[in-house]
Amino acid sequence: MSKLNIALVGAGRRGAGSHLSVIAKLKDVYNLVAICDIDEEAATRAAQKYGANPYTNVRDLVEHEELDVVDITVPGVAHHAIACFMADAGVHILCETPIAMTLPTSDMIIERAKANNVKLEIAENYYRAPRERFLSKVIEAGVIGDVARIYRIFHEGGYHGMSMLRLRAGGEPKSALGITQSTPVIPIIDQMKRNHTNERWSLGFIEFDNNATAIMIYSNVIHARSLGRGQTGISQIDGSKGTIVGEDIYVTPESDLQSGAKGIAHRAKRSTIDVNGVDVIEKIELELPDQTVTWENPLKHYPLPERQIAVADELLSIATAVLNDTEPEYGAARARQDQEMNIAMSESGKRSRETLLFPLTELTETERAANEKYQRQYGHPIEDVEAGIDTFFPRH
Ligand SMILES: NC(=O)c1ccc[n+]([C@@H]2O[C@H](COP(=O)([O-])OP(=O)(O)OC[C@H]3O[C@@H](n4cnc5c(N)ncnc54)[C@H](O)[C@@H]3O)[C@@H](O)[C@H]2O)c1
């Protein structure tokens, strides 16, 4: 494989942390050539640490570097501005989640990428975690039969949650009902350094075209695991012949189906190998009386602990797409759909719990409010890419 020149834009908490340390481990695929951050100190600090050139502006970055791929880790409100600019510069894109704040700004990125013939991958990471990849295999192998209902309660929400619900349902979303509530909390700063003064709570009920349904309960304070919220989450997937509850996979022996039909819990075994002193997951295997389901780590030759595998996976997804001229695994259309489902849930809450049908065809009040907030905060319309790339977007 020939190596790709990559730059990272947005050397913040997340960017500087997980993405850069993983890029440094994918040396056979990537040359990290530059790190760009509008905050000069952040750019210099990260560039020194990773031996790359610092930039404070994407215009200078593309003028001075020969880039194949850009990894965009600026705050979500800035994704469309930086991504459209990089697409116009002919650079392939890996963009952090969400794809963008609204559907029109998501479409701007998708259109610019298409017009410039650049690959676009969104760094949706939840389904790429080994545990979730393994559970996908369990469901695909028919262990619990056809999925009927999914409960994800007190786990991640928003677009990440929607991504998981859709993946587990195995169908296209038909409708969304949302119940939302906002209540004050004392001012707090969470472990990711995010400020919270109120709790934005939501309950979503999604129907899929294959008759599966999903329920999600989420709030920003639950997500932050602050004030004691979200200590125990419920993740349950009900199938026609079994259930996945957290890590336990329940199946009922044939002989008990007519006499109680109690499910018996099975747990997968994980095996690890040592790669350069790092405990690397080799495989996750479930042995059932009549079948064995195995997920093997395709990245097991890299010294990646389990928490870094999803990020490596998304970085390799865009690299493979660029090198083989194929489509990235997740892609922008799915990421847009995650945001569409997320917006629909919030919009339904705003419209006194009206059930909304997919696809959304008009600009929602939720998006209009996001546009207005953007204009108020940054002094230019959200579509103004040129103004956006020169704006400092602080973390909220
Ligand atoms: N997938 C996940 O699980 C996950 C988790 C955390 C964060 N994220 C995403 O990662 C992204 C970054 O999050 P973070 O926590 O690192 O944010 P952050 O605010 O800590 O860092 C963002 C960086 O972008 C820089 N920046 C702002 N405006 C800029 C501009 N115009 N040009 C260049 N740089 C600019 C800031 O100076 C800052 O250093 C967000 O999109 C967030 O949604 C995803």
**pLDDT value at position 1?**
55
CA of 15 to the centre of ligand 1 (A): 6
What phi-psi label fits residue 146: left (phi over 0), alpha (psi between -120 and 50 degrees) or beta? beta
Please provide the CATH number assigned to the domain covering 4-118: 3.40.50.720
Question: Ligand 1: which residues within 6 Å by Cβ?
Answer: 9-15, 36-39, 42, 73-76, 78, 96-97, 123, 125, 389, 391-393, 395
Q: What letter represents residue 323's amino acid? A: L
**pLDDT value at position 396?**
62
Distance CA 111, CA 119 (A): 11
CA of 83 to the centre of ligand 1 (A): 13
**pLDDT value at position 73?**
96
CA of 165 to the centre of ligand 1 (A): 25
Pocket test for ligand 1, best of 13, 14, 330 (most atoms within 8 A of CB): 14
CA of 38 to the centre of ligand 1 (A): 11
Under a CB-based contact definition with an 8 Å cutoff, are residues 88 and 297 in contact?
no
CA of 71 to the centre of ligand 1 (A): 11
CA of 84 to the centre of ligand 1 (A): 16
pTM: 0.96
Q: What is the largest CA-CA distance in the chain?
A: 72
Pocket test for ligand 1, best of 21, 36, 37 (most atoms within 8 A of CB): 37
Same fold for the domain at 4-118 and the one at 127-300? no
Pocket test for ligand 1, best of 73, 86, 156 (most atoms within 8 A of CB): 73
The residues near 222 (Cβ < 8 Å, ≥ 6 apart) are 154, 157, 201, 229, 230
CA distances in angstroms from 29 to 143, 248, 274, 386, listed in the order given = 36, 37, 22, 31
Q: Count CA atoms closer than 13 A to 338's CA, side-chain side.
A: 28
Each residue's pLDDT expressed in tens, for the chain with a length of 396 residues? 579 999 999 998 766 678 999 999 999 999 999 999 999 999 999 999 999 999 999 999 999 999 999 999 999 999 999 999 999 999 999 999 999 999 999 999 999 999 999 999 999 999 999 999 999 999 999 999 999 999 999 888 899 999 999 999 999 999 999 999 999 999 999 998 889 999 999 999 999 999 999 999 999 999 999 999 988 889 999 999 999 999 999 999 999 999 999 999 999 999 999 999 999 999 999 999 999 999 999 999 999 999 999 999 999 999 999 999 999 999 999 999 999 999 999 999 999 999 999 999 999 999 999 999 999 999 999 999 999 999 999 876
Domain ranges across the chain: 4-118, 127-300
CA 10 to ligand 1: nearest atom: 24
What is the domain class of 127-300 according to CATH? alpha beta
Q: Quick count: other Cβ atoms within 10 Å of Cβ 191? A: 8
CA 194 to ligand 1: nearest atom: 15
CA distances in angstroms from 201 to 75, 119, 191, 248, 365, listed in the order given = 22, 35, 19, 28, 18
**pLDDT value at position 62?**
98
